A and B are shown apart, each in its own frame.
Chain A
């Protein structure tokens, strides 16, 4: 097994949440992706052993969903949104800028394994369009100039940890829900409405 003890422990905890073991494949694949950045064949073998189905059945699930990466990505995965809200707010330009800067086409990784570029469907930041994600951390309200600056910063500084807030402060613009009516109770952060409908649960 190529997973360490703590991951196996985490996996077993996930499996316990489902009445049938094989129902846990989805979250387990996320766990695998969080480890390697993509779904490796080794991880698939581990998952298949944990849930008691064959490797190819796990592979079948993991290749069905495009957000499980089948290939290793570069250090920074640049996911620029191309869905409707961002499109209206000129995401095409952002995509071109990133393409020009990195020299990459969709789903390509550069030689130094630094950048992987992809144009993705909605990342849930319509309020702050156009938006993109670096390693799944969102930055909103981009302009072409700021996008170039962001890319240059990544290339030169090569930070080990990407933090959404930090990027937003340095390179972002209008943020989702900046313009929304303030939540009077003050209990919900930037996303009003979620907790009042009890759709999310407190982490324990």
Chain B
């Protein structure tokens, strides 16, 4: 590290690291320089000229934009001189020439940098009497984003974000001079998984989202910092509500995790909280019909059932609960010594191999600090979107990227070495000698490597992955991160003593060995590839208790249904992410009706059964979860609530996961997940519900020809089950490979390990006969 340099700002000495931008150095020392276009995470452009400051040069004092000027030793800067003030007033007067004064109906008003800085630095009045320029207002540039071009001040934050950060530049400046506008290409909407970030960083109200538009005023919002539980990346979020309704989620800049960004699913998948279809009262099945009942009645019936402690109990646990909930279940299960106290996690991608080998765990920051990144997992952009952004950032910084997988992954465009068909077989096995591959020889062997390893499809055999992991462990200085893609998976495997996966559930659990089954916050029938088997098993079991937000394909089959609070904004707790970083989940809005947190329900049941109840408070559960840690670095509430720990604390738990190796079942299809699916929460989030509703399959042109498809639609058929779907031409897929997304409505009923008949749809004329 080179030494700090000293600069003089407004007569005060401040220190800075060399090569820092002047605006950033001042910001770090508490001197605010107004700005519109400059953003900490984007490359500087000097578009808006708002950050002009005076510096002393050999030719006298000079106005320079502080966002494109690097600090130098002994630099003398004035940010408040008369000249600077005049420049700021001039810039603002120009910016306001074409900016409509529609603040009273603008969503940004109240938190608008243009409004605030006009107040603070503006001239106070305008000399512009001519007509302002007009555009149609607003136009929708995607299903979830609206653009008001009149309000745009051309700072290029959104266009730079989409180019530099997310890599899908679908919006750009069109025209020139005073005609310049931001727009998309005709019929090519801003279809990005990260488009919501542009709304957040827009310094005016030009970009708005359908979900928040006209819903509230910033000064009415209550807000709380939390962690997104949508996927194991665990982005830091700020939740906003007004009148007890969740209205908006913003990304918080957590340097080691999401750096301020969120994916659109994490940002907009919250409207279900206010859905009228939320369960409000406990339900009980009487004569095959669900009737409303009270929690007390359910407690009474259940306690009778389990009072002798010899009941065979099984748990099917979802990944949407907090760590404290998992601890509560774990403690509760200890009351039944005769059962094997196994928790089946609702994740068909989970496998144990990763935890059995002696590996060094990677953090997300390691991606930037290594010489190469090796990825063999689900498509990152679809499943761990913000991790994809971090990989992209590392690649931009010169880290080599080596990817294994079918040639369908979004990583293909940024990878230095992409090993597909020739090296990775249809069943996802590396069929060549790993050590002889060019990318591995040159960039992995004996180098510092960060690897992201996970199953590409539920049907991938464990041993294939183990082989790559052991190669990396033996031949390089590797750190490995496991890519499971659902929710608080890492919290579950940390806090539950014995975790198995869904495949094990279908093998081990039956009505013979289960008197009572708890299903917690999961819909395995609706979204897993073992849907049919699980359906059969659950139907057979006499007593099934379900804790969930909604009625869905799984909960409908249960005898008792308890409405629960959502982990998003309705309860407190902790969340553990992909790098075993634990951070706070906080509560902002009340949950509807008689909803309970998972732990509240289990604690109440313990009381009814007269068990020793050590799980009757959230703080108690939190202490239980982290009792093995040193007081100093345990992620307990006490520590996490210190401002220095808001970004979370990484812990070094050794989880106990033992899944059965998948040795037999394979699929001739490429089964995977897309970001938006037909999950119950997306279904009830109005602004994004349609994004996951389309039923489709993907294949290359020649494959489609072989299937004799022509009309754009096809029919999938298997054992009397039939779904009509679109097909999407994706020439990146190898010949003969058919991609089927598993998270689509009615696709779950297919058994992907068997053949599915794919035939052309009946033509429209034939359908119109009647």
Contact = CB atoms under 8 A, between A and B. Distances in A.
Interface of A: 41, 44, 53-57, 59-60, 63-66
Contacts of B186: 41
Top 8 A-B residue pairs of the complex, sorted by shortest distance between their CB atoms? A60-B172, A55-B185, A56-B185, A56-B172, A64-B176, A63-B175, A63-B174, A54-B169
Contact of A60 (B168, B173, B188): B173
B619 to A, nearest CB: 51
B482 to A, nearest CB: 33
25 contacts: A41-B185, A41-B186, A54-B168, A54-B169, A54-B170, A54-B172, A54-B188, A55-B185, A55-B188, A56-B170, A56-B171, A56-B172, A56-B174, A56-B183, A56-B185, A56-B188, A57-B172, A59-B174, A60-B172, A60-B173, A60-B174, A63-B174, A63-B175, A64-B175, A64-B176
Contacts of B184: 56
Contacts of A56: 169-172, 174, 183-185, 188
B176 A63 contact: yes
Contact of B185 (A54, A64, A65, A66): A54
Interface string B182-204: 01111010000000000000000
Contacts of A65: 176
B185 A44 contact: yes
Contacts of A59: 172, 174, 185
B165 to A, nearest CB: 15
Contacts of B173: 60, 64
A54 B162 CA distance: 11
Given A60-B172, A60-B173, 18 more contacts: A41-B185, A44-B185, A53-B169, A54-B169, A54-B172, A54-B185, A55-B185, A56-B169, A56-B171, A56-B185, A57-B172, A59-B172, A59-B174, A60-B174, A64-B173, A64-B175, A64-B176, A66-B176
**Number of chain B interface residues as a range:** 10 to 19
Contacts of A60: 172-174
A29 to B, nearest CB: 14
Contacts of B171: 56
Nearest to B187: A41
Interface string B59-99: 00000000000000000000000000000000000000000
Nearest to A58: B185
Contacts of A66: 176
Contacts of A55: 185, 188
B169 A57 contact: yes
A107 to B, nearest CB: 13
Contacts of B188: 54-56
Contacts of B169: 53-54, 56-57
A56 B183 CA distance: 8
A55 B174 CA distance: 12
Contacts of A64: 173, 175-176
A64 B176 CA distance: 5
A66 B175 CA distance: 9
B200 to A, nearest CB: 21
Interface in B144-191: 168-176, 183-186, 188
A65 B177 CA distance: 11
Contacts of A63: 174-176
Nearest to A70: B175
A44 B184 CA distance: 13
B77 to A, nearest CB: 34
A181 B173 CA distance: 48
A56 to B, nearest CB: 4
Nearest to B188: A55
A77 B186 CA distance: 26
A105 B168 CA distance: 40
A57 B185 CA distance: 9
Contacts of A44: 185
B758 to A, nearest CB: 28
A25 to B, nearest CB: 12
A178 to B, nearest CB: 37
Contacts of B172: 54, 56-57, 59-60
A100 B173 CA distance: 36
A56 B170 CA distance: 6
Nearest to B186: A41
Contacts of A57: 169, 172
A182 B289 CA distance: 104
A55 B186 CA distance: 9
A60 B162 CA distance: 14
A41 B185 CA distance: 9
A27 to B, nearest CB: 19
Contacts of A53: 169
Nearest to A64: B176
Contacts of A41: 185-186
**Of A44, A56, A60, most B-chain CB atoms within 10 Å:** A56
A37 B680 CA distance: 52
A119 B186 CA distance: 29
Nearest to A53: B169
Nearest to B159: A60
Q: Name which of A41, A59, A64, A65 has the most chain B CB atoms within 10 A of its CB.
A: A59
B167 to A, nearest CB: 10
A66 B169 CA distance: 23
Nearest to A52: B413
Contacts of B170: 54, 56
Nearest to B168: A54
A63 B188 CA distance: 17
A161 to B, nearest CB: 33
Nearest to B184: A56
A59 to B, nearest CB: 5
B183 to A, nearest CB: 7
Contacts of B168: 54
A70 to B, nearest CB: 9
Contacts of A54: 168-170, 172, 185, 188
A41 B183 CA distance: 14
A89 B166 CA distance: 54
A171 B174 CA distance: 39
B160 to A, nearest CB: 13
Nearest to A62: B174
A66 B170 CA distance: 22
A87 to B, nearest CB: 22
- Among A44, A63, A64: residue with most chain B CB under 10 A: A63
Contacts of B185: 41, 44, 54-56, 59
Interface string B229-249: 000000000000000000000
Nearest to A44: B185
A44 B174 CA distance: 13
A48 to B, nearest CB: 8
A44 to B, nearest CB: 7
B254 to A, nearest CB: 30
Interface string B366-386: 000000000000000000000
Nearest to A65: B176
A78 to B, nearest CB: 23
Contacts of B183: 56
Nearest to B181: A63
A130 to B, nearest CB: 27
Residue among B168, B172, B173, B186 facing the most chain A CB atoms (10 A cut-off): B172
A66 B183 CA distance: 18
A53 B169 CA distance: 8
A64 to B, nearest CB: 5
A65 B174 CA distance: 10
A160 B186 CA distance: 33
A63 B171 CA distance: 14
Contacts of B176: 63-66
A19 B660 CA distance: 53
